[in-house]
Structure 1
Amino acid sequence: MTVFTTKSGAVAGAVSTYAPGVAVLRGIPYAAPPFGADRFRAPRPAAAWGGTRNCTAFGPVAPQSAQLPGAPAWSPGDEDVLSLNIWTPGNDGDALPVLVWIHGGAYAFGSSAQPDFDGAVLAAHGLVVVTLNYRLGFEGFGHVPPAAGTEPCPDNRGLLDQIAALAWVRDNIAAFGGDPGLVTVAGQSSGATSVACLMAMDGARGLFRRAIAHSPVNACASPASAARTTAEVAAEAGVPATYAGLVSASPKALVDASDRVADGYRRDPASGARHYDPAIYGPVAGGTALPLDPLTAFASGAGREADLLVCHTAEEFWLLDETGSCAKVTEESRLAVFAADLHIQDAVLDAYRRLAPEASVHETYLALYGDLQFAEYSCRLAEVHAGGGGRTRLSRFVRRHDGRGRPVRAWHCADIPFAFGTVDDENVHFLIGGPPGAADRELSSRMARAWAEFAATGDPGWPPLDAAGSPVRIWDTVSSDVPSGRWDAFRAPWRASGLPLITP
């Protein structure tokens, strides 16, 4: 056992089975259980403990209905959900760069225990790697109306949990060999948008120096849309949409009610934008903690002090189609309705038809939606951050695999096992198309090395964006860089027509 001393007490971990020189500690509480009197409140400090705490197992996951391959499921009654995990090759007195990972999952599912996110390989590159759980779904992102005589329940509790974890890292990571002044916060999908939100939040200022955002999702709720979601979820749970009503509903009741609300949108083609991808939660932009959505905030220069590395995949939405997570659109009439529901201008739709005349209606829909929700939004975040004075790198993951008789596309989430170096874990083979070959392992090594170099120095190996259109790194089994102004013809219609912002 390997023992480290935090400000709350001593913790003991084990040696990683994947990297013999790396110690791994799991399930360290960074805040108190957010239930009972603390439910719907900002996170509270974790209680100290005596003796040495055994930290060899992941902590409980946040309330959710998902059951993901290789990861634990949530069990009603689990309350100590605000925990983090550490992989470190260092000891107290070292000063290694730190990478803090925020998982994705539509703000409603996922955990730090997913096999994709094992930090051993990255730690072997000289990083201290931290992954964390935070509140999800209604517990983390549902709007709770204020009640007279009670402490206000802030919006964006999941983001506040992430800030609490970063504060814990600042205060404790030196004991694990990490440099609290050299922290990179990273995430994918909703985790990446969380990263962008943290860059725009005063409450997170000074807690990290760099940021990595893979496939940030174009989705921030407004106060009005968050209040509407609360009303819908409360009605499904059979309670009033008040603090007293909501706190009377169990976490499971709110998870189940949220699933029914989402399923209602999924089944109703006339329900507007939520029908196509019924993710009903997202950061609430417009309040005290997060006054502006990230894209708008970056345009005003927010977050420019943090170096930013952005990546997206070439065929984002094909994963959601493969897993049945989005609506099918196979007819021209439905494609036109989709474009209208998402405020996509006719010129953009016409350009996609013209640029890919061989594509089916469904393929055009997936390309449009993937670019609107992920790819073009990623590029905009990178460019706006650079335009606001930040140092920004942009990259695109294009690797495909044909090992199952049909191509596994460069879809959402496929890049993350490569960056973490977890491509050999069988739980991720669905994402990457089966066991990796030598070229895949070499690509993974390059991506992990880029993350490590960026966390350590701010330079992942290619130049930052500038007004002239600096190179964009293309991640494939053959490495290449292309000028940002020419690498994707499908960006031109969005530039001409504007990018609608999605409000869940």
Structure 2
Amino acid sequence: MTVFRTRSGAVRGLRTASNPGVVVLRGIPYAAPPFGAGRFRAPRPAAAWDGIRDCAAFGPVAPQSAQLPGAPCWSPGEEDVLSLNIWTPGGLGDALPVLVWIHGGAYVFGSSAQPDFDGTALAGHGLVVVTLNYRLGFEGFGHVPPVGGGESCPDNRGLLDQIAALEWVRDHIAAFGGAVDNVTVAGQSSGATSVSCLMAMDRARGLFRRAVAHSAVNSCASPESAARTTQEVAAAAGVPATYDGLVSASPGALVDASDAVADAYRRDPASGQRHYDPAVYGPVAGGDTLPLDPLTASAARGASDVDLLVCHTTEEYWLMDAVGSSAKITTEEQLAVFAADFQLPVALLDGYRTLMPGAPVLDVFLAVYGDMLFGEYSSRLAGSHARAGGRAFLSRFARQRSGQGEPIRAWHCADIPFAFGNLDEESVHFLVGGPPAPADHELSGRMMRAWAGFATTGDPGWPPVGGTTGEVRIWDTAAGDSGAAWEAFRPGWRRAGLPLPAP
């Protein structure tokens, strides 16, 4: 059956070429276009339709300047950007576990149409897979001053979009064979931090029972820093930093202005924390939609009714250096300034030098910064969740690949094609070091089974964090201690504390 009937109308999908037992439906609207009267507002319900809606093509992507391999680009004028996609091996009457994927991209780029997020292989493991688009950049995460008369536009509109998608899943996924009471929300990078934010948001309570966070990033903005970013972006766009001024700027103008603000930080070594990787947007913690940042919220009240599966890679930040999005820190003087900007103790850097004998300054910087943003933060999320009474599982992706030139490292994003089973997709070969070897397919199979097991029963295949039986699962193609060795870096962070970069 390729026609499914939802409360909004009937939809028609296509059987996938690689697995005819899986039907894919693309571009289903879960909320109304967030422009016109709905711009900078909370998401509104999508309009119903008559007849059968063909769902063969992905919906438009959110406004952004990125051009990603194999994925569509944003075109000015495209407004119906709040859509989702479904891969299902079932139909009405089945009760299959559901996995809802939130893409990453520093809150300013990316989409559900990226080839590495194709859900066919995972659906073949008995899951209903859902991927979604949400508002990015200023449209989704920029702070908007109150409208005249005191009416306000909510912060974290991108997170509210994600909640709207989860509500759509709650209301409609049974028609596609999904179990309404067995939903797992998953994401990577900013998508993983989105997941951890959803765990801390009252509005998302009850919409999912499990969560997967790969490489959650240590960055939430305070209301004050979000307001300063608005001032900078408005100035770059040439409009007043008011609701009327911002709404008068086109989405494309705010994308260009945001890029200009980020570039200015990137070019200015004296600009403090944002110089090293100028991510100017992030969830705004401290307001109505997100009262506390995820780590604080987990320690304060936890979410013991939600199981959590955490993963990070062991060499996260080498990807940012490879694609030119990070500062080049190559001298001891630059490294000292970096440490001062983040208030890192000298002992922490000395510990890295001891554990990385003979490493160049750049490698020390990439290791420290990557661990601060991703590795240590992810580990603390798992530990905090477990201490608050929840079940948490921790894993590390350590797979490297040798070849011509420098080895392909276990860097940011490299784990996702393995977890989705999309290693043969040409657009991911840069991330994983070329066409996959048999050992890579074997590793991918293990990771997919872990995700499927966790989404189905809450058990990924190894013990949870805490107690005497807790362990960390190392994802690698060969036996060794490359992933386990990462644990040696943690004592320095425990002594130093975890700085919180301010977007």
Query: Is TM (by shorter chain) over 0.5?
Result: yes
Counterpart for residue 418 of structure 2: 418
Q: Measure, in 2, the Cα distance between the counterparts of 1:479 and 1:305.
A: 35
Q: Distance in 2 between matches of 1:105 and 1:375?
A: 17
Q: How far apart are the structure 2 equivalents of 1:348 and 1:245?
A: 45
1:192 and 1:396 map into 2 onto residues whose CA distance is 15
Distance 1:435 1:483 in 2: 23
Name the CA distance, whole Å, in 2 between partners of 1:421 and 1:20. 16
Aligned AA (1:224): E
Deviation at 1:479, TM superposition (A): 6.3
Deviation readout 1:79-116 (Å, 9 max, x if unpaired): 00000000000010000000000000000000000000
Match of 1:306 in 2: 306
Say whether the 8 Å CA contact 1:472–1:483 is kept in structure 2: no
**Other structure's SS at 1:362 match:** helix
Match of 1:489 in 2: 488
Q: CA deviation at 1:19?
A: 1.5
Distance 1:470 1:482 in 2: 19
Q: Which deviates further from its counterpart, 151-160 or 76-85?
A: 151-160
The residue that corresponds to 1:291 in the other structure is 291
Superposed displacement of residue 300, structure 1: 1.2
Residue 14 of structure 2 is matched in structure 1 by 14
Distance 1:479 1:129, change over 3 A: farther
The answer to whether the aligner puts 1:248 opposite 2:258 as a matched pair is no
Looking at structure 2, the residues matched to 483 and 425 of structure 1 have their Cα atoms a distance apart, in angstroms, of 26
Matches within 5 A, 1:94-493: 94-149=94-149, 151-468=151-468, 470-478=470-478, 488-493=487-492
Distance in 2, matches of 1:374 and 1:116, equals 21
Tell me how far apart the structure 1 counterparts of residues 169 and 141 of structure 2 sit (CA, whole Å): 23
CA distance in 2, matches of 1:483, 1:283: 30
> What secondary structure does 2:78 align onto?
coil
TM-score normalized with structure 2 length:
0.98
Distance 1:239 1:200 in 2: 34
Q: Where does residue 501 of structure 1 map in the other structure?
A: 500
Alpha-carbon distance change, 264 to 328 in structure 1, aligned in 2, over 3 angstroms: same
Q: Residues of 2 paired with 1:280 and 1:39: CA distance?
A: 20
Paired residues of 2:87 and 2:119 also in contact (CA < 8 A):
yes
Gaps of 5+ in 1: none
The alpha-carbon deviation at position 502 of structure 1 amounts to 1.4
Distance in 1 of aligned mates of 2:47 and 2:480: 50
Question: 2 CA distance for matches of 1:461 and 1:272?
Answer: 43
| Structure 1 position 350, deviation (Å) | 1.5
Partner Cα distance (1:40, 1:467) in 2? 46
Contact 2:200–2:298 (CA under 8 A) maintained in structure 1: yes
Equivalent pair of 1:318/1:412 in contact (CA under 8 Å): yes
Kindly provide the amino acid, as one letter, of the partner of residue 442 in structure 1.
E
User: 2: distance between equivalents of 1:475 and 1:294?
Assistant: 26
After TM superposition, give the deviation of residue 353 of structure 1 in Å: 1.4
Question: Are the aligned partners of 2:314 and 2:411 in contact in 1 as well (CA < 8 Å)?
Answer: yes
Go from structure 1 to structure 2 and tell me whether the alpha carbon gap of 1:481 and 1:99 turns closer, same or farther (over 3 Å shift): farther
Write the deviation string for residues 133-192 of structure 1: whole angstroms up to 9, x where unpaired. Answer: 000000000000002236421000000000000000000000000001000000000000
Contact 1:215 1:412 in 2 (8 A): yes
Aligned to 1:83: 83
CA deviation string 1:356-415 (max 9, x = no partner) = 121111100000000000000000000000010010000000000113432010000000
Paired amino acid for 2:254: L
Query: What SS class does the counterpart of residue 79 from structure 2 fall into?
Result: coil
CA distance 1:333–1:469, shift in 2 (3 Å):
farther
Q: 1:480 to 1:182 in 2, by over 3 A?
A: farther
Task: Judge conservation of contact 1:403–1:434 (CA < 8 Å) in 2.
Answer: no
Pairwise CA RMSD: 1.4
For 2:467 and 2:187, the matched residues in 1 are separated by 26
User: CA–CA distance in 1 between the matches of 2:372 and 2:117?
Assistant: 26
Residues 435, 32 of structure 1: CA spacing in aligned structure 2 closer, same or farther, 3 A cutoff?
same
2-side partners of 1:347 and 1:70: how far apart? 44
Q: Distance in 1 between matches of 2:469 and 2:244?
A: 54
Contact 2:213 2:309 in 1 (8 A): yes
Q: Aligned partners of 1:206, 1:322: CA distance in 2, in Å?
A: 40
Tell me how far 1:47 sits from its aligned partner: 0.3
Aligned position for 2:66: 66
Deviation at 1:347, TM superposition (A): 1.7
Query: Are the structure 2 counterparts of residues 54 and 479 from structure 1 closer, same or farther at C-alpha, using a change threshold of 3 Å?
Result: farther
* Amino acid of the structure 1 residue aligned with 2:296: T
Secondary structure of the residue aligned to 2:487 is coil
Count of residues in correspondence between the two structures: 503
SS of 1:25's equivalent? strand
The Cα shift of 1:470 comes to: 1.5
CA contact (8 A) 1:474 1:480 kept: no
TM-score (normalizing by structure 1): 0.98
Quote the Cα distance in structure 2 between the aligned partners of 1:482 and 1:395.
13
- SS of the residue 2:257 aligns to: helix
Contact 1:353–1:359 (CA under 8 A) maintained in structure 2: yes
Q: Is the 8 A contact 2:314 2:483 kept in 1?
A: no
Q: Aligned residues: percent identity?
A: 74
Deviations 1:243-283 (A, max 9, x none): 00000000000000000000000000000000000010000
2-side partners of 1:126 and 1:81: how far apart?
28
Structure 2: give runs of 5+ residues left out of the alignment: none
